Amino acid sequence: MSEHSPEEALDHYFLDRARTLPPAASAPGARPVDRAAPVLPGSQLTGGLALALFDAQLGNRHLDLAARYLRAAGHGFYTIGSSGHEANAAVAAALRPADPALLHYRSGAFYLARAAQVPGADPLRDVLLGLVTAADEPIAGGRHKVFGHAGLAVIPQTSTIASHLPRAVGVAFAIDRARKLGVTSRWPRDAIAVTSFGDASANHSTATGAINTACQVAYQGLPMPVLFVCEDNGLGISVRTPAGWIAATYSSRPPMRYFSADGTDLAGCYDAALAAADYVRTKRAPAFLHLSVVRFMAHAGSDAEVSYRSSGEITADYERDPLLGTARLLVGAGLLTPAEVVDRYEAMRRRVRALADDAITHRRLTSSAEITAPLAPRHPDHVARRAAQAGDDKARTQAFGGRPPEAAGHLTLADSINRALADALASYPHLLVFGEDVGRKGGVYGVTRGLGRRFGAGRVFDTLLDEQSILGLGLGAGVSGLLPVPEIQYLAYLHNAEDQLRGEAASLQFFSIGQFRNPMVVRVAGLAYQKGFGGHFHNDNAVAVLRDIPGLVVAVPARGDDAAAMLRTCLAAADIDGSVCVFLEPIALYHTRDLHEPGDGGWLCPYAAPDLWADAHVPIGRGRTYGDGSHLTLVTFGNGVPMSLRVARRLAETGIGARVLDLRWLAPLPVEDLLREADATGRVLVVDETRRSGGVSEAVITALADAGYGGRIGRVTAIDSFIPLGTAAAHVLVSEAGIEKAASDLLARAP
Ligand SMILES: Cc1ncc(C[n+]2csc(CCOP(=O)(O)OP(=O)(O)O)c2C)c(N)n1
Ligand SMILES: [Mg+2]
């Protein structure tokens, strides 16, 4: 074995063994055999299907071999293969081609077998174009090598193991929820979701959380048609999974049903997959299909497997080659002779080689503009039109009874968001509002109060306590055609689920050239100034983790009318452009009524009637300016807005004219407004309640520098610290006294 590369060793082993397979025991040479008959007594796998699946398995193997020579020749960029896992072809065959699939990176044979169910598909070509990063590759357009295809209902996955499972659970949830609500979904009404993953990935908290969520939803009697497929090769790169661990963990996890099969036995895999799929489809309940497989040719081309496995162990696995298993089955059933097995294998090699030779001639991506085009498309005019549309009178009456909010006088920020959510529920029949405590209680701060009662638990509902699953529900609902508005209870608790936003949500349009999207408006209660209550985790003021996610929209409304308008914009952008938006609501302003004096009601706002929404529209990336002072521009957002307005009034009393720019959007920043207001005074003070390092002020100052702004700049920010409980909090946060001091320092500085 040592003189051969892993791919040569595997290749030769298969051919040697295939040539000498024992011929059919019963009637050697007594063909033709009935291809419609079971390939084995008692199995549901017919001879014809077994042959078709063998082709998918052969195709997969030769794609892996091609990945290696393409890499060696400098044409290919990806060598993680699916060889040894080819049993997953049987899973595809047991499903319908419109069942949404979220696949493991070793589910290549599944992909080929699914494509074989759909006329016109060309999966060998698809995969080869992915390996060489061709710009016309059908799912990612040369941006990644992933299994995905819009026409095959295969949603592309990321490289982050298990991160697709929360979305898979969300997709399963969305299939039946869309049907219940009578809204159109991307999937057939009786579809089921399937998701595959490795044995090591099964330990990831993202996987265990998603499986737990599926079980908890099903435990309540709610539909959860998801099939989890664990492709268990006993290894996670070099780390062994304890023998029996997957079965021990998942064989008894009610109400999820467990099925298992040996990956060398195509008929057994097909029968188990059929039983599992039938269970999920008819019961609308989760099942776990455990496939025992082997991993060939190491983790990836770069992985020297001999450093952690003996060559004897590696070679012994060759005997468990699923291709040999299927070849044995076909030869034993009289469907192929050993020579025909070899011919088929070699014919597939030639076919893949010809396609690979063609693939390397395809164009690759050559400009940043082309690469980023699908990242976050924006159609602001269309968004503006949609944002100005309200639900019809009947829907608004359901939302508000006889008391529309425009007739209710001035509202707080929390009440404005509440009314805007009600209007959104009335305007978008496919909109869902969910999260911890949003349903029955109406939110920790009452922002969703009454919505569940008026719109029903089908549309406004409580979730279990797992932020990854909440966002996963949103991802799955969004990709299915619904419009999810998940709530994360506090900014600090977004962090433990943040990759669902970063890795999954924000990257989907990019890695699918817009063929899949997950429109979503994530409401997050956050930021500081809870008068000392709550400590760090209820006052978290860090947003850097959001601002650097490509394409993500980050909105921070400071007052009620802006909040309602900005929410309408985010929802319209999500619906029209598939935008992923974070709507960060300053908790401390939720119930604030006054601005300058107790009782002045200066922070209350009227709620605009729908006929005013077009005029009141707030485009993404446009700020709001208060005042026209010519000495100083205070650039701020969130809690900084009322603080800066109070400071501006005090400065005015001393003869200093300050204007205040509320950025309103932290991503993308309102650069045009910023430059205009900066140039108007030539003195900019950034009032940033986030931290000095990684905070918003860094971006604001950089934007000014990039544009060549030549005036004075200062900043007042929170300290680089976690926030303490009690009155000590004030020592790390921005204060009005601090703003005033920074303003006078800036004004006193020599030009
Ligand atoms: C969250 C995360 N951590 C680490 C990695 C690096 N990594 C890629 S594959 C892998 C092992 C996965 O093993 P398993 O789930 O058993 O799948 P297999 O490759 O064996 O099919 C690791 C650690 C990753 N991709 N994602
Ligand atoms: Mg594994």
| Cα distance between residue 559 and residue 552, in whole Å | 22
- DSSP bridge partners of 261: 291
Rounded to whole angstroms, the Cα distance separating 593 from 576 reads 34
Is pLDDT at 326 greater than 60 in this prediction?
Answer: yes
Q: What is the position in ligand 1's atom list of the atom closest to the CA of 236?
A: 13
What is the per-residue pLDDT for 29? 53
Q: Is the CB of 161 under 6 A from ligand 1?
A: yes
**CB-ligand 1 contact for 106 (6 Å cutoff):** yes
Write the pLDDT tens digit of every residue in 118-171.
Answer: 999 999 999 999 999 999 999 999 999 999 999 999 999 999 999 999 999 999
Element housing 326 (H / E): helix 322-332
Residue 1 banded pLDDT, cuts 50, 70, 90: very low
| Phi, psi dihedral angles at 10 (to 5 degrees) | -65, -45
- Using CA positions, which residue lies closest to atom 11 of ligand 1? 236
The two structure tokens encoding residue 572: 């319209």
Q: Which residues surround ligand 2, an ion (CB under 5 A)?
A: 198-200, 233, 235
Section 526-534 average pLDDT = 93
pLDDT tens-place string over residues 177-195: 999 999 999 999 999 999 9
Q: How high is the mean pLDDT of the chain?
A: 96
Atom of ligand 1 nearest to the CA of 161: 26
Contact between residue 648 and residue 635 where contact means Cβ atoms under 8 Å apart: no
Burial category of 536 from C-beta neighbours within 10 Å (exposed 0-12, middle 13-18, buried 19 and up): middle
Q: Which residue has the higher pLDDT, 195 or 403?
A: 195
| Predicted local distance difference test score (pLDDT) of residue 3 | 72
Q: For residues 115 and 121, what is the distance between their CA atoms, to the nearest angstrom? A: 6
Active site residues: 538
Q: Is the pTM of this model over 0.95?
A: yes
> How far, in Å, from the CA of 161 to the mean position of ligand 1?
5
By most ligand atoms within 8 Å of CB, the mutation choice from 201, 205, 240, 305 for ligand 1 is 201
β-bridge pairing 658-662 and 624-626: antiparallel
**Residue 337, CA atoms < 13 Å, CB-side half-sphere:** 9
pLDDT in tens, 551-573: 999 999 999 999 999 999 999 99
Over residues 33-82, the pLDDT tens digits come to 899 999 999 999 999 999 999 999 999 999 999 999 999 999 999 999 99
Element (H or E) spanning 672, and its range? helix 671-681
Q: What is the pLDDT of residue 4?
A: 85
pLDDT at 32 over 80: no
Distance CA 325, CA 345 (A): 14
With a cut of 90, say whether residue 25 has pLDDT above it: no
* Residue 260: its H or E element: strand 257-262
Residues 683-692 have a mean pLDDT of 98
Q: Where are the beta strands (DSSP E) in 637-724?
A: 658-662, 665-667, 683-691, 712-718
Contacts from 219-222 at CB under 8 Å and sequence distance 24+? 219/254, 219/255, 222/173, 222/176
Cα of 547 from ligand 2 centre, angstroms: 35
| Per-residue pLDDT tens over the stretch 334-363 | 999 999 999 999 999 999 999 999 999 999
